Every structure is written in C-alpha cells, then in structure tokens.
Chain A
C-alpha cells in the first residue's frame, strides 16, 4: 500500500517564523503535490513537482516555496509565516500521468499565531 507521511499532524508557529512542512512517500512516485484546504474552498494547489529538483507553481504559490532534493521527499516552506497561512496542508503523490489517482497524507493542521 502507498504510504504518504507528513511530519506533523499539528503545528503551532509564530508570525514571521520560517516553517518547514515535510512529506515523504514510499512508492517511488514521480509526482508530488502540496495543497492547502480551507472550508468552502476545497483543496487548492500550492506547488507541485514532476521530478527531483523540479518544481512548478500551482494556483496559490505566494508566500510559499518548495524543495525536492530526493525523489521521495517534498518539502513545503513558509518563508515568513503569516496568520493568513493558518490552514490544513495536505501532501499527495502519484505515479505519473493518466488514470492513476493521487495518494494523500494525513494532513498537517498549521496555526500561525
């Protein structure tokens, strides 16, 4: 079974801090994704990566960056956390194009105080 592991279930940080959210998948998937989930807005794509060292902006990349140094790991970075980045963050991976679905982690509920 595919396992996508996010480093924290809950995280509390302060405004202005640099925040790292880590995601690891164990199925050698090419694609990895970071979403944020907010009530009434569904899931919105922040960044994604199709390969090591590759990254592409999603729909809401402002205030975020990512890193993919190894195939199994995709990190989301909040350069200077702000209160409007309080949200649920979901990581996902998939094996490539076509009909294959994305597999999700358990999510990180991030609060910025």
Chain B
C-alpha cells in the first residue's frame, strides 16, 4: 500500500524568505501523480502544484516549486519570497495511475512571521 509522510508538523519562515516543506512517499508503482495542497484558516483546500512522475522536470507555479526525486521517493515544496498569505496547513498527496483516490500526508503547519 502507498504511504505519504510529512515529518515536519510545524514550520516557520520570515516574510520574504524561502522555506522548504518535506514529503516522502512509498509506492511500488512507476506511474503516479503528486500534489501539494494548501488549507488556509478559511478551511478550503486549494491545489498549489502538481507533478507527474514520468516528468523529470520539476514543476513550478510562480513562487512555488518542487524538488521531485523519484529514486529517493521525495517530493519537497519550496516557497520563495514568503508572504503572510502563505500561512496555512500544507498537505502532500499521492495519486496512482489507476483510479482517483488521493493518499495524504499528515500535514505541515506553516507560519509566516512579519
């Protein structure tokens, strides 16, 4: 069975600085998808970024980028130029190639200090 692990329950970053959130996963599949979701205090889960396992190039969305290491089964999220609005719970999630189920990590709560 696939598992997703986020080993950092809480992280803190100074405004305008860069922070990296860690995520590791375990799977025997070769084709899958990885996602980072953000859940602000308002509670709605919002997709931040996605990565297809067959793509070697790391995904980037504005200030958000990932470091995808397939062999190491690692999928970290880097937030550059952190803003107060980035404060939220961040979840890493895995989806296999068959079906639509997501497997989530435990979450990392990010606080941003002004």
Interface positions of A (Cβ within 8 A of B)? 30-31, 33, 35, 40-45, 48, 50, 58, 88, 90, 92, 94, 96-107
**In the complex, are the beta carbons of B35 and A50 less than 8 A apart?**
no
Contact between A99 and B101, CB atoms less than 8 A apart:
no
Q: Which residues of the other chain, A, contact B102 by a CB distance below 8 angstroms?
A: 33, 43, 45, 92, 102
Known interface pairs A41-B106, A42-B106, A99-B50; A106-B101 also in contact (CB < 8 Å): no
Given contacts A40-B9, A97-B99, is CB(A104)–CB(B44) below 8 Å? yes
A36 to B33, CA, bound (A): 22
The chain B residue sitting closest to A35, CB to CB, is B104
Q: Specify which chain A residues have a CB less than 8 angstroms from the CB of B37 in the assembled complex.
A: 104
Say yes or no: B44 contacts A97, CB within 8 Å: no
20 A-B residue pairings within 8 Å (CB atoms) = A33-B102, A40-B9, A42-B6, A42-B105, A42-B106, A43-B102, A43-B104, A44-B104, A50-B100, A88-B43, A90-B45, A96-B100, A97-B97, A99-B52, A100-B100, A102-B100, A102-B102, A104-B45, A105-B44, A107-B43
A101 touches B47 (CB 8 A): yes
Asked if A101 and B91 sit within 8 Å, CB to CB, the answer is: no
